[in-house]
Amino acid sequence: MTAIPFALGARHKGFNRAEVVDQNFLEFVQLWQRETRAAPRDDEAVLPGSALDARGFRELLESQLISRHLDLMARVLRVQNKVFYTIGSSGHEGNAMVARLARHTDPAFLHYRSGAFMAERFRKIPGMDPVMDSALSFAASKDDPASGGRHKVWGSKPLWVLPQTSTIASHLPKALGTAVAIEQARRIGHQLPIPDDSITICSFGDASSNHASAQTAFNTAAWTAYQKLPAPVLFVCEDNGIGISVKTPSGWVASNYQHRANLDYFFADGLDLAEGYAQVQRAVEHCRTTRRPTFLHLKTTRVMGHAGTDFEIEWRSIEELFAVECSDPLLRSAGIALESGLYSKDELLNLYEATRKRCFAAAEDADSRHRLTSLDDVMAPLAPYTPAAVKAEAERADYADRRLAVFGGEGKLPEKLPPRHLAIQIGQALHDLLAKYPEALLFGEDVAQKGGVYTVTKGLNKTFKGSRVFNTLLDETMILGLAQGYANMGMLPMPEIQYLAYFHNACDQIRGEAASLQFFSNGQYRNPMVMRVASLGYQKGFGGHFHNDNSITALRDIPGLVVGCPSRGDDAAMMLRTLMALAKVDGRVCAFLEPIALYMTKDLYEAGDGQWQFDYPAPDQAMTLGEGRVYNERANDLVVFTFGNGVPMALRAARTIEAELKWQVRVVDLRWLAPLNDAFIAAQARSARRILVLDEGRKSAGVGEGVITAIVEGGCGATPLRRVVGADTFTPLASAALLVLPGVDDVVAAARKLG
């Protein structure tokens, strides 16, 4: 390549590097002096020996220029408050090759330097405009077809680019999950929304490849391939050698990934279209034909810094900046354009300036459009809820023949059997749901042959076979990544997290990924799922804080997430039906917290009384979201608000309180912890003379705080009120656990203080 001339004054420490990069391209073309060839025909190689034909090169070049000028536009218009995002794609324009060689029906999970990929993918469907769509997103316009103005995201429903604002590498697990789901659909007879031979594409940076979320995806991909199970995911590591300001050790990516078993490695030069095209082509074709996880190491660079606020000159030498800017892939593309004879200098400069003009015009147009101006507009896609449709779906019982086959005949239907405790009724409900929804899958650690640690899923694997009920590797992040993948492909996943404490290892898969997808895609994409979690405290003879986790805060804080917690088996069955209906109808992400200590509980007041076993509800019975259960509804001397383990505890305490204080006690089981039904809570509080809030969670940031807020804001703040809660500590082992968790005596003592 010819030596690169630099703009006058470029060595000045404060010089705008975006201007330098822009000027470099212009001067490179103007000063080009090398000999040119006779222009090839459209179907001929752009340069001798290249796998890229002339037509393909022209289109890739145009995509690269669109990406570059969107970046330059963003730097100029950000200071005018017309654009709100400046993390650019400059230096990564070679990813356009991946877009060209893949299909628009290959689901793509992209990182933020994917401007050229998107510009090229837009070609797959005639009539779409990558410049205007991107400009609307940069401008946070309500007309943005990707997110409706909620964030600058690369996304498109018709192009199967799922909008996301992933934290570092957190999109890799769901990308792999989607690849696995493509193959899983065939095994369960599910009709895919995309061609059966599709692959998933997942791009990320070299720095992100070190993150735990990336490593879990790579490990699971290899774990899957090792067992000869298809996982057609193309991991595209766009290696620019730096993460914000931290350099990746030279050769690290190749050293780390080139020889990994069951992760097939390919290298491609993303700085050179003529050279890199065949290399990318081999990787894409390998992934599609072998259905194996494939790692494409794409060489890139990063010019103009991490973002508009990254003044590299403050921490990077001017000589190093010059070297990086010399590696700009657009300079190499300009050289190919001129050397091949496809463009004269004037033609190339005219194309460059016409693209600039087009991007700025689109940005000015986007700036004139409406933006989100009301809270209702912002939140509209976050938590859709259509009560009538959900109720109809939850109570739909048109699968009688499948039920009979699953349960083994009319006389063995669970509603015909004697009352049962929580664990058995959850298991019966899961049999019911898997019979009702052929697209439903249940998976997690130990859920198959063993039937779960607490035998809740016993028999499901035998009844529904390993294609629908199966064990995963021990990795909660990947369990939830798989769930998102299955949901992306139109299935209804029911992942199990073995203990609530284990969820915290993988929280971002729900918080940052699954629950945010409807919001950031303006309702175009969704991740319907019902996540079951063995939860809460009071286990006897077993525990410690990992198995007695009472922290629900991390779940209740996730926007749009539905959280339910039953205290008895019949409620559990009806709640599960509603949760599955919420997932299927409204695409909701749901968490179902199963109190471990109540799994096997049969008695309420005395050993052998059997008063905590209940009849199984018929399949046409469900529960409305937010609906609580009230015990002793007419009592108003004392009202106890609680949930989970607190319900039988409060009922036992009520006996003592009624005998000692002569009060009539009402116990309110909330059942739904997110969203809390504030109106229901306030209505129950209004007739109360005294109120107790019994929350087995910790004092700080527990459910009880939300209950008290609902009571006060509902106008009942003057009613005498006390809270009975757990201590702000981790749960210790053995009987010491009962020192930090509330008990019956604590409830009675609190009631006395209200006297």
CB atoms under 10 Å from CB of 373, counted, come to 10
Determine the Cα–Cα distance for residues 215 and 209; give it in Å rounded to an integer. 7
Least confident of 70-79, 152-161, 449-458, 537-546: 537-546
Determine the Cα–Cα distance for residues 327 and 358; give it in Å rounded to an integer. 26
Least confident of 55-69, 257-271, 613-627, 723-737: 723-737
For residue 541, what pLDDT band results from cuts at 50, 70 and 90? low
| Predicted pLDDT of residue 361 | 96
Tokens matching residue 688: 């109360």
| Predicted pLDDT of residue 543 | 65
pLDDT per position as a tens digit, 239-274: 998 998 899 999 999 999 999 999 999 999 999 999
| Predicted pLDDT of residue 731 | 84
| Predicted pLDDT of residue 128 | 94
pLDDT beyond 90 at 118: yes
pLDDT per position as a tens digit, 709-751: 999 999 999 999 999 999 998 888 888 888 889 999 999 999 9
CB atoms under 10 Å from CB of 255, counted, come to 10
Indicate the average pLDDT of the chain. 94
| Predicted pLDDT of residue 11 | 43
Highest mean pLDDT (candidates 9-13, 598-602, 733-737) = 598-602
Determine the Cα–Cα distance for residues 8 and 126; give it in Å rounded to an integer. 42
| Predicted pLDDT of residue 6 | 39
SS3 19: helix
pLDDT beyond 60 at 8: no
Q: pTM of the full predicted structure? A: 0.95
pLDDT beyond 80 at 10: no
**Is-contact 169 80, C-beta < 8 A?**
no
SS3 438: coil
pLDDT beyond 50 at 664: yes
SS3 530: strand
State which amino acid sits at residue 394.
A
**Is-contact 536 593, C-beta < 8 A?**
yes
129 torsion bin: left (phi>0), alpha (psi -120 to 50), beta (else): beta
DSSP-derived secondary structure for 200-235 = EEEEEETTGGGSHHHHHHHHHHHHHHHTT----EEE
| Predicted pLDDT of residue 168 | 85
Mean of the pLDDT values across residues 623-640? 97
**Is-contact 469 452, C-beta < 8 A?**
no
CA distance to 214, 223, 284, 294, 600, per residue, from 218 (Å):
6, 9, 17, 10, 39
pLDDT beyond 80 at 195: yes
Number of H helices, E strands in the chain: 28, 19
Determine the Cα–Cα distance for residues 189 and 191; give it in Å rounded to an integer. 7
**Is-contact 340 57, C-beta < 8 A?**
yes
Taking alpha carbons only, the member of 365, 346, 367 closest to residue 357 is: 365
| Predicted pLDDT of residue 85 | 83
pLDDT beyond 90 at 189: yes
CA distance to 70, 72, 78, per residue, from 85 (Å):
11, 11, 7
Least confident of 2-6, 326-330, 620-624: 2-6
CB atoms under 10 Å from CB of 228, counted, come to 8
DSSP-derived secondary structure for 50-99 = -SSBHHHHHHHHHHHHHHHHHHHHHHHHHTTTS-------TT-GGGHHHH
Determine the Cα–Cα distance for residues 128 and 698; give it in Å rounded to an integer. 53
Tokens matching residue 662: 């002569």
For residue 548, what pLDDT band results from cuts at 50, 70 and 90? confident
pLDDT beyond 90 at 154: yes
| Predicted pLDDT of residue 437 | 98
| Predicted pLDDT of residue 291 | 98
Tokens matching residue 387: 């009560």
For residue 549, what pLDDT band results from cuts at 50, 70 and 90? confident
| Predicted pLDDT of residue 314 | 82
| Predicted pLDDT of residue 237 | 98
DSSP-derived secondary structure for 329-378 = HHHHHHHHHHHTTS--HHHHHHHHHHHHHHHHHHHHHHHTS-B--SHHHH
H/E element, 471: strand 469-471
- Pairing type for strands 242-243 and 246-247 reads antiparallel
Burial degree of 401 (CB within 10 A; 0-12, 13-18, 19+): exposed
Least confident of 310-324, 379-393, 417-431, 451-465: 310-324
DSSP-derived secondary structure for 499-524 = SHHHHGGGHHIIIIIITTHHHHTTTS
Determine the Cα–Cα distance for residues 505 and 502; give it in Å rounded to an integer. 6
Mean of the pLDDT values across residues 176-201? 96
Determine the Cα–Cα distance for residues 379 and 364; give it in Å rounded to an integer. 26
DSSP collapsed to 3 states, 609-675: CCCCCECCCCCCCCCCCCCCEEECCCCCCEEEEECCCHHHHHHHHHHHHHHHHCCCEEEEECCEEEC
* N residues, the chain: 755
| Predicted pLDDT of residue 15 | 66
State which amino acid sits at residue 620.
D
691 φ/ψ angles, rounded to the nearest 5 degrees: -135, 135
| Predicted pLDDT of residue 515 | 95
| Predicted pLDDT of residue 166 | 67
pLDDT beyond 70 at 101: yes
Tokens matching residue 610: 């059997």
pLDDT beyond 60 at 707: yes
| Predicted pLDDT of residue 261 | 95
Tokens 């324009």 identify what position? 93
Is the sign of the CA dihedral 363, 368, 372, 373 positive or negative?
Answer: positive
Work out the percent of the chain whose per-residue pLDDT is above 70: 97
For residue 542, what pLDDT band results from cuts at 50, 70 and 90? low
Mean of the pLDDT values across residues 469-485? 97
State which amino acid sits at residue 428.
Q
Determine the Cα–Cα distance for residues 604 and 586; give it in Å rounded to an integer. 37
Determine the Cα–Cα distance for residues 161 and 122; give it in Å rounded to an integer. 11
pLDDT beyond 60 at 145: yes
| Predicted pLDDT of residue 7 | 41
Taking alpha carbons only, the member of 216, 336, 321 closest to residue 269 is: 336
| Predicted pLDDT of residue 697 | 92
The neighbouring-strand residues paired with 663 are none
